[in-house]
Copies of this chain bind each other. A is one copy, B any other.
């Protein structure tokens, strides 16, 4: 299997969720038309997406739910164990440390970092908090391949630079700052404010189209 396009990957992530929901409900097969309906996309698109990861439906039954889950866990590399470090233990950082969902994907946050002496030297969500000055050294020691940034925007680039020096392969940036990393590093910006702006824009568009503009 080659590289998936971002769009295809995004749809397949949703298929993966659906399949897990279906399995939890005891459902064994799911049709492409059902998937298409639930995701709000075209049925042929779903068939193409499934085919791109070598998933084939059984006539009159649909795709085997268990097979979707297994195949996509392989494709997305969800069965590997990965260590992550988190920088910034403010409200958002603490929410992420307490978030139970990540371990399901093999990701374990093994260390947290903060610049505030009142915050380090103790545990948050079962994770030890270290001084941010020790980030490079400790991230290496902890064999972190993923860095999570939850610091204020002004500090984000500096933290990203240290994480790259420490040898992480991916950075998950929750600050609204646009950070720059070498091309070999996977970067995902999870900026909540930009999510909000997109939603507000959609609300404006909907309002106008309902008003008949």
Name A's B-contacting residues (CB within 8 A): 3-4, 6, 9-10, 13-14, 16-18, 21, 38-39, 75-78, 82, 91-92, 94-96, 98-99, 101-102, 104-105, 107, 145-146, 169-170, 172, 176-178, 180, 184-188, 190-210
A186: B residues at CB distance < 8 A = 199, 202-203, 205-206
CB pair A77–B204 under 8 Å, yes or no, is: yes
B99 touches A197 (CB 8 A): no
> In the complex this chain forms, how many copies of it are found?
2
Contact sample, A vs B, 7 pairs, CB 8 Å cutoff: A10-B198, A17-B194, A77-B203, A101-B176, A102-B193, A105-B193, A190-B195
- Which of B3, B18, B177, B199 interacts with A205 by CB under 8 Å? B3
Task: Judge whether A201 and B4 touch: CB under 8 Å.
Answer: yes
B91 and A98 contact, CB distance less than 8 A: yes
Task: Given A91-B98, A91-B99, A194-B13, decide whether A107 and B184 contact each other with a Cβ distance below 8 A.
Answer: no
Indicate which residue in B39, B94, B170, B190 contacts A203 across the interface (CB closer than 8 Å): B170
In the complex, what distance in Å separates the CA atom of A16 from the CA atom of B195?
13
- The answer to whether residues A204 and B76 also contact, given A16-B197, A193-B101, A193-B105 and a CB cut-off of 8 A, is yes
Bound-state CA distance A91–B91 (Å) is 8
CB–CB A107/B196 < 8 A: yes
A188 in complex: contacting residue of B39, B177, B199, CB < 8 Å? B199
Shortest CB–CB separation between residue A34 and chain B, in angstroms? 12
CA distance A10 to B193 in the complex (A): 12
> Do B198 and A170 touch across chains, with their CB atoms under 8 A apart?
no
Complexed CA–CA distance, A39 and B210 (Å): 33
B105 touches A201 (CB 8 A): no
A9–B198 contact, CB under 8 A? yes
